[in-house]
Structure 1
Amino acid sequence: MTPTGNTPAATAVYGAQVKEAAEYIQSRLGGYSPVIGLILGSGLGDLGDQIEDAVYLPYEEIPHFPRSTVEGHAGRFVIGKLEGKDVIIMQGRFHYYEGYEMKKVVLPVYVMAKLGVGTLVITNAGGGMNRAFKAGDLMLITDHLNMTGDNPLIGPNDPELGVRFPDMSQAYDAEYIKLAQKLAPEIKGNAGESLVLKQGVYAGITGPTYETPAELKMLALLGGDAVGMSTVPEVIAASHSRLRVLGMTCITDMAIGDELEPLTHEQVVKVANETKPKFIGLVRAFVREVQV
């Protein structure tokens, strides 16, 4: 019987699962040694199709991995070359609202760290709460609010994964943010305009419901600029693993409490698809220029 819950036995089992999953992926890398990991959110998975000489590894083939059940998420790793660097890309992620425990949600982060990844690029689709934003903007995440009511590090700590009390003061790497801002002017939109990046705080909620007007007003008052249902647990695990993180949100809709309109997942994916060329252009430029 497999131990469950936040017990020392369950923590030991989890560490073994991370190791076993990493060893399996290592056996399938085809000579690649990924140094950069990328987690691609809703409607943004096409970057995985641009990997050179790619190795595809569906999540269901990997020991202990759950399945991605969200529309727009392919549910596989893509491993290969991007802008001259060895990368491992998650085409689709796992969410707390899918019914997975937080430790399952962040399992791929620990596995990528075990494989030797030191830089993690995390993208998502989110609603804009800052009135200076508009749908289609790209926001660099400078900080976050964990509004999920949970934390993947709750329970006994495994020192092989990270320290008991990881620092979160620089969870989103300041040098990476500066580099992305520097690269933005070279990225062009469909009309030839240069990319102008926003910056802000990402409020992470559980979902799967979109927020009520009162909830959005609260999150904005707390300092949130964008809101979404992912990323925060992954960044906590990344900080635990001492990974450097660049986080980016595609603002797919405006989530202003006083002006809220009905929203569907199809609308979110549609705007993400329209913004995709600029998003992919920026990620490629970052991978090309970042020193790892």
Structure 2
Amino acid sequence: MSDHSAEAATRILKMAEGFQPKVAIVLGSGLGPLADLVEDPVVISYGDLPGFPEPGVHGHAGRLLLGNLGGVPVACLQGRAHAYEGRIDAMKVPVRAMKWIGCEAIYLTCAAGSLRPEVGAGSLMTISDHLNLMGGNPLAGPNDEEVGPRFPPMADAYDPALRALQRDCAAAIGVDLAEGVYAAWLGPTFETPAEVRMIQGLGADAVGMSTVPECILARHCGLKVTATAVITNLGVGLSDETVDHAQTLRAAAEAGKDLQRLIVCFLERYAA
């Protein structure tokens, strides 16, 4: 294998003394506190794992936690690297390592701007499909046939059964859960009002700067994917509110409480 994912997986399993997770969870901006709910975690710094990136954005801790959550053994990735930091495939090793340590599925989370006025700040949106507007693909370059096919299909990239499970959980715990198409914007600049109108016209319901590369990498290596965005603001130009990263973190931290409840319920029912 041409990357460090198998080596990283071997090191993770050794440090975790054989603990084998079933579900990986990627925590986005301001969503790190969910990691506090992991029971008796083994905590590993990304810096101790070959090929794992050091996240360069405030709100991303850069730690892997292994433990139980909602009755399911999980691997919780507390932070991610972003394409705007220089590499669209920056999460290749972490995602593949999750597959090699035994995960069946990956739950991606992120902060996003809503392109639908009725889905405002503080809402949750499960992702049904995506638009890759990043100008690149994390699978570009030579393909490793040991990992996945040269041309992986992306129909139902966000697993329909897992999305249905999320909807059932939201109804059970009384959390409003929208559903929509997520557009991945390279960043690090927020979109202009004209760009927001363009993205709306392409059929997106939310826009953010992550998630899509991880989804592509996960599907390529055979992981099932589900994803939920915390809506932190309306897209630029859709309201008078100023959009900045500090505001994103504040809104994500507040709405993240509902997301924590949703993820715990999801895991409880996933294990049933």
Aligned partner of 2:228 in structure 1 is 248
Q: 5 Å matches for 1:112-151?
A: 112-151=98-137
Aligned to 2:16: 29
Q: Per-residue displacement from partner, 1:35-69 (whole Å, max 9, x unpaired)?
A: 10000001111111111110000101111222011
What whole-Å deviation, never above 9, does each CA across 1:225-271 have from its counterpart, x for those lacking one?
00000000000001101111111000000015354543111100101
Q: Does residue 1:55 correspond to 2:42, yes or no?
A: yes
Q: The residue matched to 1:33 in structure 2 has which SS?
A: coil
**Aligned residue for 1:42?**
29
Q: 1:210 aligns with which of 177, 190, 200?
A: 190
Take 1:203 and 1:44, find their aligned partners in 2: how far apart are those partners? 20
Q: Which residue of 2 aligns with 1:183?
A: 169
- Confirm or deny that 1:222 pairs with 2:211: no
Structure 1 stretches lacking a partner, 5+ long: 1-11, 188-193
Contact 1:38 1:121 in 2 (8 A): yes
1:197 maps to what in 2?
Answer: 177
CA distance in 1, matches of 2:114, 2:236: 7
SS in 2 for 1:113: helix
Aligned equivalent of 2:263: 283
Say if 1:140 and 1:248, in contact at 8 Å, map to a contact too: yes
Task: For 2:134 and 2:225, locate their aligned partners in 1 and report how far apart those are by CA, in whole Å.
Answer: 20
Task: Summarize deviations over 1:58-85 as a string: whole Å, max 9, x none.
Answer: 1011112220111111110010111221
Runs of 4+ displaced beyond 6 Å = none
Secondary structure, counterpart of 1:49 in structure 2: helix
Contact 2:180 2:204 in 1 (8 A): yes
- Please say which structure displays the higher CA radius of gyration: 1
**Cα pair 2:192 2:236 within 8 Å, conserved:** no
Give the distance between the partners of 1:268 and 1:197, measured in 2 at CA: 19
CA contact (8 A) 2:182 2:208 kept: yes
> Corresponding residue for 1:81?
68
Aligned equivalent of 2:58: 71
Query: Are 1:95 and 1:229, in contact at CA under 8 Å, matched by a contact in 2?
Result: yes
1:166 is paired with a residue whose SS is coil
Contact 1:250/1:272 (8 A) holds in 2: yes
- Match for residue 106 of structure 1? 92
Residue 243 of structure 2, aligned match among 242, 248, 263: 263
TM-score, structure 2 as length reference = 0.96
Partner Cα distance (1:253, 1:283) in 2: 21
Answering whether residue 23 of structure 2 is matched by residue 13 of structure 1, we say: no
Match 1:235 to one of 215, 219, 238 = 215
Deviation of 1:13 (Å): 3.1
- What secondary structure, in the 3-state scheme, does the structure 1 residue paired with 2:2 have? helix
Aligned residue identity for 1:98: E
Distance in 1 (CA, whole Å) between partners of 2:167 and 2:89 is 32
- TM-score w.r.t. length of structure 1: 0.90
Matched residue type, 2:155: S
What is the CA deviation profile of residues 99-152 of structure 1, one whole-angstrom value per residue up to 9, with x for unaligned ones?
2x2232332111101111111100000000012211100001000000000001
Is the CA contact 1:213–1:260 (under 8 Å) kept in the aligned structure 2? no
Compute the RMSD of aligned alpha carbons. 1.4
Amino acid at match of 2:254: E
**Count of residue pairs brought into register by the alignment:** 272
Q: Distance in 2 between the 1:154 and 1:211 partners?
A: 25
Measured against aligned partners, the alpha-carbon deviations of 1:182-217 in whole angstroms (never above 9, x if no partner) come to 111232xxxxxx211100000001111100001000
Matched AA of 1:76: R
Q: Match of 2:69, as an amino acid?
A: L
Q: Distance in 1 between matches of 2:63 and 2:13?
A: 15
